[in-house]
């Protein structure tokens, strides 16, 4: 080998080594905690203590209302851009899409569903409104068994078939008089949107909500081509879902765009139930009231101050409107009562560290 060739080989080798050193240094920098004005050491310790409950792979993000990231923790294989199913966190997204149609004057929350789905009159359900659908107060018979609901959905080829099947079910209670958490209401509301827009729900929510928010990794479209589920079928990332939370925190505005009107965001935060109405709620949500698409974790002066829409797989998105921050713990771990209590304990500690009072 000539000296000239050896020289170039040596030069190239040094270049490759320098790239590897740069990548290693850069990776080490990324793993360092983000600088923050808050001392979150106790939060780090608490998350470590609760890891047996939370799971070995998770992400925690906390953003203040002024779009400032104040805390980020990535553990195990989960990163802030990891895509995973979010189960019932989907309901909040679907409720927001409904409110976009309200903003546009195409529907009203108090419109009877029968205006769009005549089959509801055939089965004596003409008093069910879109508001009842978003608040789980249709009064239509439902089941509290998660696996049974999944198996029931597999027989439907469209939301039209599913909505007609819901219309044919027995009435458990008069619409608006009691609450039963499930898939019935949100999926009926989604079918109404399909009728009004003449577009499929999964395409519709991508065009109207996800694209404007820059939620590029979020979708309701099923990988196997099966029927999408507006109540629990979304996949997302911690980064994507946080954009949605910040939009709600900032009265419907994100990145200079008004995604929802202030009036619609206020409407989504109104308490729709009282505890005596609640006939069925998951163990993780017992004792809380419900708004439109989310649970009311804390109330102040008769209004929702803190809202959350936890999913069965453990992901817990939340906005604290009175303290001015949004939080998400993104994880895939079935949410039980103990895990819900862990989330509330984490929330309490965050409030202490940030020295935020509900105003």
User: What's the whole-number mean pLDDT along residues 200-210?
Assistant: 98
Per-residue pLDDT band for 263 (boundaries 50, 70, 90) equals: very high
| DSSP notation for 70-106 | EEEEEETT--TT--EE-GGGHHHHHHHHHHHHHHTTS
Per-residue pLDDT band for 150 (boundaries 50, 70, 90) equals: low
Backbone phi, psi, residue 43, to 5°: -65, -40
pLDDT at 337 exceeding the cut of 70: no
pLDDT of residue 32: 41
Whether residue 38 lies inside any domain: the answer is no
Classified as helix, coil or strand, 326 is strand
**What is the domain range of residue 284?**
52-354
Per-residue pLDDT band for 12 (boundaries 50, 70, 90) equals: very low
- Between the CA of residue 52 and those of 18, 312, 327, 333, what are the distances in Å? 40, 17, 20, 10
CA torsion sign, 177 to 178 to 180 to 181?
A: positive
pLDDT of residue 5: 43
pLDDT at 277 exceeding the cut of 50: yes
Per-residue pLDDT band for 249 (boundaries 50, 70, 90) equals: very high
Whether residue 39 lies inside any domain: the answer is no
pLDDT of residue 4: 43
- The token pair that represents 137 in the structure block: 């107060």
Position of tokens 């202490």? 352
User: What's the whole-number mean pLDDT along residues 319-341?
Assistant: 84
- The token pair that represents 349 in the structure block: 């500690």
| DSSP notation for 34-74 | PP-SS--HHHHHHHHHTHHHH-SSEEEEEEETTTEEEEEEE
Whether residue 40 lies inside any domain: the answer is no
pLDDT of residue 62: 97
Per-residue pLDDT band for 151 (boundaries 50, 70, 90) equals: low
User: What's the whole-number mean pLDDT along residues 253-257?
Assistant: 94
pLDDT of residue 34: 53
pLDDT of residue 232: 93
pLDDT of residue 115: 98
What confidence tens digit (pLDDT) does each residue in 218-238 have?
A: 999 998 888 999 999 999 999
pLDDT of residue 131: 98
What percent of the chain stands above pLDDT 90? 71
What is the β-pairing status of strands 179-180 and 278-280? parallel
Measure CA 328 to chain center. 9
| DSSP notation for 141-196 | -----HHHHHHHHTT-SSHHHHHHHHHHSPB-S-TTS-EE-SSHHHHHHHHHHHHH
User: What's the whole-number mean pLDDT along residues 170-178?
Assistant: 95
CATH number for the domain that contains residue 181: 3.40.710.10
Per-residue pLDDT band for 302 (boundaries 50, 70, 90) equals: confident
Per-residue pLDDT band for 149 (boundaries 50, 70, 90) equals: low
Predicted TM-score (pTM) of the model is 0.88
What confidence tens digit (pLDDT) does each residue in 66-93 have?
A: 889 999 999 999 999 999 999 999 999 9
Whether residue 57 lies inside any domain: the answer is yes
pLDDT of residue 66: 84
Please provide the average confidence, as pLDDT, over all residues in the chain.
Answer: 87
Q: Is 119 exposed, middle or buried (0-12, 13-18, 19+ CB in 10 A)?
A: middle
Whether residue 279 lies inside any domain: the answer is yes
User: What's the whole-number mean pLDDT along residues 270-284?
Assistant: 91
User: What's the whole-number mean pLDDT along residues 79-108?
Assistant: 97
Whether residue 93 lies inside any domain: the answer is yes
- Alpha carbon distance 344, 332 (integer Å): 18
User: What's the whole-number mean pLDDT along residues 23-43?
Assistant: 60
pLDDT at 153 exceeding the cut of 90: no
Q: Which residues contact 287 (CB under 8 A, 6 or more apart)?
A: 275
pLDDT of residue 132: 98
Whether residue 6 lies inside any domain: the answer is no
Whether residue 329 lies inside any domain: the answer is yes
pLDDT of residue 18: 46
Domains in the chain, number = 1
pLDDT of residue 224: 85
């Amino acid at each position: 080998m000539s000296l000239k060739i050896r020289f170039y080989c040596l030069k190239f080798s040094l270049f490759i080594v320098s790239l590897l050193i740069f990548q290693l240094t850069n990776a080490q920098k990324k793993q360092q905690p983000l600088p923050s004005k808050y001392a979150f050491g106790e939060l780090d310790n608490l998350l470590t203590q609760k890891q047996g409950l939370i799971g070995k792979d998770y992400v925690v993000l906390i953003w203040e209302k002024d779009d400032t990231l104040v805390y980020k923790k990535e553990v195990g294989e989960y990163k802030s851009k990891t895509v995973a199913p979010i189960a019932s966190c989907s309901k909040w997204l679907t409720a927001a899409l409904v409110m976009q149609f309200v903003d546009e004057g195409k529907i009203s929350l108090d419109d009877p569903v029968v205006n769009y789905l005549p089959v509801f009159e055939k089965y004596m359900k003409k008093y069910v409104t879109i508001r009842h659908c978003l608040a789980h107060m249709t009064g239509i018979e439902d089941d509290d068994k998660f696996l049974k609901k999944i198996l029931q959905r597999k027989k439907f080829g469209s939301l039209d078939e599913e909505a007609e099947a819901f219309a044919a079910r027995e009435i458990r209670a008069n619409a608006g008089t009691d609450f039963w958490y499930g898939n019935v209401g949100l999926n009926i509301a989604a079918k109404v949107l399909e009728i009004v827009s003449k577009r499929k729900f999964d395409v519709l929510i991508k065009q109207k909500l996800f694209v404007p928010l820059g939620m590029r990794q979020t979708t309701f479209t099923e990988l196997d081509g099966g029927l999408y589920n507006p109540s629990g079928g979304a996949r997302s990332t911690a980064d994507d879902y946080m954009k949605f939370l910040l939009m709600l925190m900032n009265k419907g505005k994100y990145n200079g765009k008004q995604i929802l009107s202030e009036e619609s965001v206020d409407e989504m935060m109104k308490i729709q139930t009282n505890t005596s109405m609640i006939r069925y709620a998951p163990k993780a949500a017992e004792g809380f009231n419900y708004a439109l698409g989310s649970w009311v974790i804390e109330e102040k002066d008769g209004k929702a101050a803190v809202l959350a829409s936890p999913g069965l797989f453990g992901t817990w998105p939340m906005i604290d409107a009175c303290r001015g921050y949004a939080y998400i713990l993104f994880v895939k771990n079935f949410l039980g009562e103990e895990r819900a209590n862990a989330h509330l304990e984490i929330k309490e500690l965050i409030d202490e560290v940030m020295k935020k009072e509900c105003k």
